[in-house]
Chain A
Amino acid sequence: MAVVLIALFAVSAVAPLLFRRFGRASFYLLGAVPAAAFVWLLVNFDSFISADQSAAAGEPNAPPGLLLHWIPVLQLDLAFRMDALAAVLSLLILGVGALVLFYCARYFKNEDANIGPFGAQLLAFAGAMFGLVIADDLILLFIFWEITTILSYLLVGFARTRIFARRSALQALLVTTFGGLAMLLGLVMIGQTAGTYRLSEIMAMAPELASRGTLIDIAIALVLLGAVSKSALVPFHFWLPGAMAAPTPVSAYLHAAAMVKAGVYLVARLAPGFSGTTYWDGMIIGLGLATMLVGGWRALRQTDIKLVLAYGTVSQLGFIMLVVGQGTADAALAGLALMLAHGFFKAALFLVVGIIDHQAGTRDVRLLSGLWRTAPKLFVVAVISAASMAGIPPLYGFVAKESVLEVLLAGAHDIAGIIVFLGVLLGSVFTVAYSARFIWGGFASKPGMPATAFKAVPWSFLAAPAVLTAATVVFGFLPTPLGKAAAGFASLFPASEHPVQLALWHGPTPVLGFSVLVIAAGLLVHRWRAGFGALQSRVPALLEAEQVYKWSLNAVDEVSVWTTGRTQRGSLPFYLGVILLVALVVPAVAGLTNQTPLPENIVWFDTPAQLIAGLCMIVGALAAIRANRRFLAVLMVSVTGYGMAFIFALQGAPDLALTQLLVETIVLVAMVLALRVLPPPLWTLNPTGHRMARALLGIGFGVAMIGIAAAAMASRTADPVSLSFPELAYFGGAGKNIVNVTLVDIRVWDTFGEITVLAVAATGVASLIFVRGRGDIRHRVVEAEPGSVGRARPQPGGTRAAAALATARHFAQSAKDAWLVAGKTLAPERRSIIFEVVARLVFHTIIIFSIYLLLAGHNSPGGGFAGGLLAGLALTIRYLAGGRFELAEATPISPGTLLGLGLATSALSGVVPLLLGGQLFQTAVLEFALPVFGEQKFVTSTFFDIGVYLVVVGLVVDVLRSLGSEIDEKTEKRGLLSGGVRRPRRPVVQRAGDRQ
């Protein structure tokens, strides 16, 4: 069983390769798989149908099963069970599947696009159907169910260049998926109520479940909704004729033999236990009867013979559903026979339509004429199958229909039973009439029409429908083997007193009389088709289900466009505003409605200095809003930053104060460097307005944050986790600076993640400015002409500016590089001797101090971050004093390398302890004696801090090189190129260094 299932899917997976190699002949290879499986099925058939159908898995005479645990926690198992019902359906699935695949080898051409994927999908479909009928787990069943839906979408939409095919495929998908989702809901309800998802166990406890009342009633109704939509019952019937856009072999397989039978299968599967639930009769028998009549009525109006068959199929599906859903042993027997008969004749007829279309190029009854003469063999096949459909003896269709009528007549002792019986009789009249219409439309010689051009039909093309037709004939005379199989399924129901027999001749019974009557009436309807057509056109069309479907799709479109238009404005401030508003309103409402504790112990300020720093920050923040010059705004924001540093210092956080101070300075430099090319004025008026709303939102948010913070602090009762940190730091991390030990040891993972982010951000900055690559090429001083960097444009003679320029050049005219290596590369008017001298004097001192900070940081304020930032500041001074060549000379190692080295050092400091048998990032203390310095202690987490130091230096250098050097160079180049003409705004090419 598992082998068959796996083989079907596995071969389908490699099918496209086969097609690339063998072309359309690969269909024979693919067909061989279900054919072999069919043989396996026949060989073991007896063991499937003779087993005790209701026996639980594991009992002696239970049907063969297979159980593989999949996700035991969720009770999801790969449970399979091959009982009589599954075996009967497998006959159709595997048998018809093989025949259709063989047929495809003649139907398609080698050069058809996508036949490889098509073959794969068709075979996989056979696998999914097989899995569906043998699945013994509700969820597994649903998975296969949906796989068939998806494959059906792909198969129906085979002609993907045609809008008609695409639309039909989507329609079928939406309708069946809708049902599928309802079904999933029902299956979960059943599974949860029963406490198991094993189908056989649920059926065993069905009587008890069915007595639970409403919940199970609704669950079953939902499952039936899935079955009804899949089997195209009213009101979902419209998708099936629509799906006729599929290639005809697909219609033969999916829409006659296999997929649409999935719904029937599900009803049959549930009927033994649940046919007594509240909504069962209405949904299955009521809708079934309506479908039978609507389908038959519609079939008589079609001019496309494929659509005649499609509506015929709708009608027949309603018929089969109605019978299987009766829930008695006799009806089960008759229903299964009817389903098999339908599989034989309808698949055969679809294949015949395919041949006609293929050879004649049309399926229109108004264009086809005289085919009975030009294609006699095809005609014979078609007539036999159509006769079976009409229920004419001695064919299997007649046998099945006789037994059905017998069952229904026996049940016609109340008003509902009589209505069903009469309805079925009327439906059967339609069936006979559209069978005749099919034969007439497809083959008859029509008066005044020349015979349609028709290519000869090769026997290999005709083989598949011929085999199916032969089955119709053979089982007409020998219905017993199939009857036995169906009887196996029927044994699940209470046995009836006078069991129905499947036989060709029952003697002169009333049912035979009804059959004759039906056939005669049907032929008469066909005889007077003109009058009947006029009658049909006079009956007003009721509400078309397809129209409702279109309306609902349009409504969904309208709603989604409307919603999108209201929410997706494309405006970032709008989105942010919505997010912030929600973030403001939800906690505020929660805080106001719940009993939020109010702070009791309010301190207005710790020290007066804190109050002053706070006031300065408030002024800075407000001034930043009001500032109408770019650099003024930047400076005002910096005020808040420096204020932060001050507050940190007052709060007992020396590390923070140090870091904030350094960062603030570097950020200020970076801002000035990056924004210098932008025009100095800054909009303070937002062009889109809403100023008041933004102010309110901002104030509201600020107030809410104050409230939330106060409430949170007032609610705090537990001791902080960090109470153990001092001991941990000193005894575990061997360091006195608790914050630093926290960073490099206690919470080292956080820090490692952070420096990774720093490296990424640095690379991002470099990439955004250099655009191509990181720009790691280092320029040397020798490449630059002395006095070439940052030359001011010559000023018109006689002005003050020109005189100032001349003076500056005169004073700074020195080619010597006494103080800075690259000082002479700067244009004379850019140089500041004092700055160069100072830079020269302090640079090394700062670098050494930064290394001290790094190494001493474990015990006193400092550490890798502070040290790295300070070193970065030293480099900033070099850059500002000596220009971009000075920076390049000062950093022999490229920032990319620095970042990499830093990350590698930190990572190694984590991994090495692991290699030495310790834990990741474990710290060790090395004690040793040095001459002069005496006893020394070295903690290995310092290596991690060295990595941090390198990364931070790399980041600062990247910022300086990108926002400084590269923008310098680009601006100079552009200035030269445009010659200073194309400058609508006043240029701001002033370097920050000039301020010194």
Chain B
Amino acid sequence: MSVNMTLLIVMGVLFAAGIYLLLERSLTRVLLGIILVGNGVNLLILAAGGRSGLAPLYEAGTPAEDYADPLPQALILTAIVITFAVTAFLLAMIYRSWVIARRDELTDDAEDRRVASKDTFDFEEDSEVELETSEFPADIDDEGEGVHTEESRRAAAARVAGERLASELRQASSEESAGTNNKRRNRKAR
């Protein structure tokens, strides 16, 4: 099968320019990159379909090989229209991004950056927790009162839960400040 270098080189240039633009931070240029790559792909399919031939309009008696391959053409036709739809959609997104944030710019995902700089200390896993020696600490408290109304029980449970939460929070904050202090110290040491 013969190889048409013009088509291939144009395709290569479209790909190269498209990818260069695709890696940009300006949304408009990213969109232009996508269109260029789309054109490049269409050209690739066309080139892969073989040399040019008769337009694929059936004439009785013409051997099938004489037509330009109709299958890649059908694929490209579909691709052209889809690229149009995608372009329109991206245009709408660019407009939206401009309206909301006044920027035509790709920014880094702050959430991802946060994960990367996360401390390995995890309160859930690494904090010091006292061994518990009872599942019913609340019952000791109201033992002396002698009366076990529903409410006193609930109040006691709520109090204990509150204290526990408070102590956990205190612990967490002290751990955190200890962590930052350590970091500061390390930085100074450097």
Contacts and interface: CB of A to CB of B under 8 A. Distances in A.
B22 A576 contact: yes
A698 B3 contact: no
Q: Chain B: interface secondary structure? A: helix
Interface stretch (A138-146, A323-331, A714-722): A714-722
Contact of A675 (B18, B42, B91, B134): B91
Contacts of A735: 58
B124 A304 contact: no
B56 A737 contact: yes
B8 A701 contact: no
A656 B10 CA distance: 18
Nearest to B157: A111
Contacts of A751: 78
A162 B161 CA distance: 9
Interface of B: 1-26, 28-29, 32, 35-36, 39-40, 42-44, 46-60, 62, 64-65, 67-71, 73-74, 76-78, 80-89, 91-96, 98-99, 104, 106, 108-113, 115-118, 120, 122, 124-127, 129-140, 143, 150, 154, 161, 164, 168
Given A621-B17, A644-B43, 5 more contacts: A111-B154, A453-B143, A580-B23, A624-B17, A641-B39
A539 to B, nearest CB: 21
By Cβ-Cβ distance, the 6 closest A-B pairs, closest first, are A570-B112, A702-B16, A565-B116, A570-B109, A652-B68, A761-B85
A231 interface: no
B89 A764 contact: yes
Interface in A624-653: 624-625, 630, 633-634, 637, 640-641, 643-644, 647-648, 650-653
Contacts of A726: 56, 58, 62, 64, 67, 70
Contacts of B53: 652
Interface stretch (A254-262, A408-416, A597-605, A791-799): A597-605
Nearest to A764: B89
A572 B105 CA distance: 11
A624 to B, nearest CB: 6
A580 B37 CA distance: 13
Contacts of A743: 74, 77-78
B129 A163 contact: yes
A663 B96 CA distance: 23
Contact of B58 (A625, A640, A682, A738): A738
A663 B32 contact: no
Nearest to B131: A304
A838 B2 CA distance: 47
A653 B47 CA distance: 12
Contacts of A304: 131, 133
Interface stretch (A288-296, A459-467, A703-711): A703-711
A78 interface: no
Contact of B91 (A166, A617, A671, A952): A671
A558 B56 CA distance: 62
A602 B3 contact: yes
B187 to A, nearest CB: 18
Contact of B164 (A162, A553, A558, A712): A162
A358 B136 contact: yes
A217 B184 CA distance: 54
Question: Which of B23, B52, B132 has the most chain A CB atoms closer than 10 A to its own CB?
Answer: B23
Contacts of A298: none
B65 to A, nearest CB: 7
Nearest to B143: A453
A743 to B, nearest CB: 5
Contacts of A764: 89, 92
Interface in A783-831: none
A601 B28 contact: no
B151 to A, nearest CB: 11
23 contacts: A361-B138, A565-B117, A569-B116, A570-B110, A571-B108, A572-B106, A573-B23, A573-B106, A580-B23, A602-B2, A603-B51, A617-B14, A621-B36, A624-B36, A637-B35, A682-B29, A702-B12, A706-B8, A721-B71, A727-B64, A737-B58, A739-B74, A764-B92
A862 B50 CA distance: 23
B56 A739 contact: yes
Interface string A958-991: 1100110001001000000000000000000000
Contacts of B76: 648, 653, 656
B85 A557 contact: no
A73 interface: no
A571 B88 CA distance: 24
Given A554-B120, A576-B23, A634-B32, A601 B91 contact: no
Contacts of B122: 557
A713 B1 contact: yes
A706 B9 contact: yes
Contacts of B140: 360-362, 453
